[in-house]
Copies of this chain bind each other. A is one copy, B any other.
Amino acid sequence: MNLHPFDQAMVLQQQPDGSTTGQTSPDYWNMIGPFGGITAAAALNAVLQHPQRLGEPIALTVNFAGAMLPGTYVAQARPARTNRSTQHWIVELLQADDSGTLQVTTTATAVTALRRSTFGGGDQPLPKVPSPAEVPRVHPPAGVEWLARYEMRPVHGAVPLQWDGHEGTDTTTRLWMRDDIPRVLDFCSLAALADVFFPRIWLRRAKRVPLGTVSMTVYFHAGSAELAATGTGFVLGEARAMAFRNGFFDQAAALWNESGLMLCSTHQTVYFKE
């Protein structure tokens, strides 16, 4: 049986020195490197597969430090501090350079914890949007492989049809999305979905300036049971920018399942040219 492309991308091999190695996935390739979401998932995966891991993810920050090349990467996850019910992780992904020296491509921190039943409430409900079935699917242009791994049904703020440099004021995008081939949601695939939004500055400026995410954070609000209950259903993502200045802009986003549960909130800062 073939593994789902996402599961294939998450395969890690234990090495004698305690580190693990993985392979970059051609299925999730972006233009000049892996889709950022799959790298974020890989960093989290190194924690989740670690034999000393305690609990489930609460927070993940991934910093895209350098280009990843096709091939092998080393994933080093280290529990920097283990408490009774929380654990703090430092993660580095590394690849060998031309001389064989390992160079850091990605740094990350993660917090895992045992969650307990408490007061609960959502202060940002699922936006009023048509159901996924009412929204046509868009088919991305060929040539960017990772886009074909997701079914996307934009409700608001789709990719500009005209790249005429006409500046807008609204940087909000809402879309229904899920893995294609459908796959039951888990922490790693949710972390990847948190990076699916196209760059806010392209929407703001109707201009495809060069860019790259520098750092992203995901706060997990759902536990594994809630992700499993979300199953292969759609996830609504809403993203917007707050400030663009001197080469960097930020993005704030949230993801809900179809029954209105916020699965995660997520933020990133992105480098751009011009």
Contacts and interface: CB of A to CB of B under 8 A. Distances in A.
A150 interface: no
A19 B18 CA distance: 26
Interface stretch (A45-53, A138-146, A190-198, A240-248): A240-248
A235 interface: no
A214 B123 contact: no
A124 interface: yes
Contacts of A245: 118, 120-122, 221-222
A267 B219 contact: yes
Interface in A243-274: 243-248, 250, 252, 254, 262, 265, 267, 269, 271-274
A179 interface: no
Interface string A93-127: 00000000001110111010101111111111000
Given A65-B81, A104-B88, A214-B111, A265 B246 contact: no
A80 interface: yes
The residue among A58, A66, A92 with the most chain B CB atoms within 10 A of its own CB is: A58
A90 interface: yes
A240 B265 CA distance: 13
Q: What is the interface of chain A mostly: helix, strand, loop, or mixed?
A: strand
A59 B66 contact: no
B246 A118 contact: yes
A20 interface: no
Contacts of A59: 63, 214-215, 269
A269 to B, nearest CB: 4
Contacts of A111: 63, 214-215, 269
Nearest to A61: B61
Interface string A37-68: 00000000000000000000011010101100
A25 interface: no
Nearest to A252: B252
5 contacts: A65-B86, A113-B247, A119-B272, A124-B243, A242-B265
Given A124-B242, A219-B267, A223-B246, 12 more contacts: A61-B61, A61-B217, A65-B81, A66-B83, A81-B107, A111-B214, A115-B246, A115-B248, A119-B274, A121-B167, A221-B245, A221-B250
Interface of A: 58-59, 61, 63, 65-66, 80-81, 83, 86, 88, 90, 92, 103-105, 107-109, 111, 113, 115-124, 167, 169, 171, 201, 204-205, 209, 214-215, 217, 219, 221-223, 240-248, 250, 252, 254, 262, 265, 267, 269, 271-274
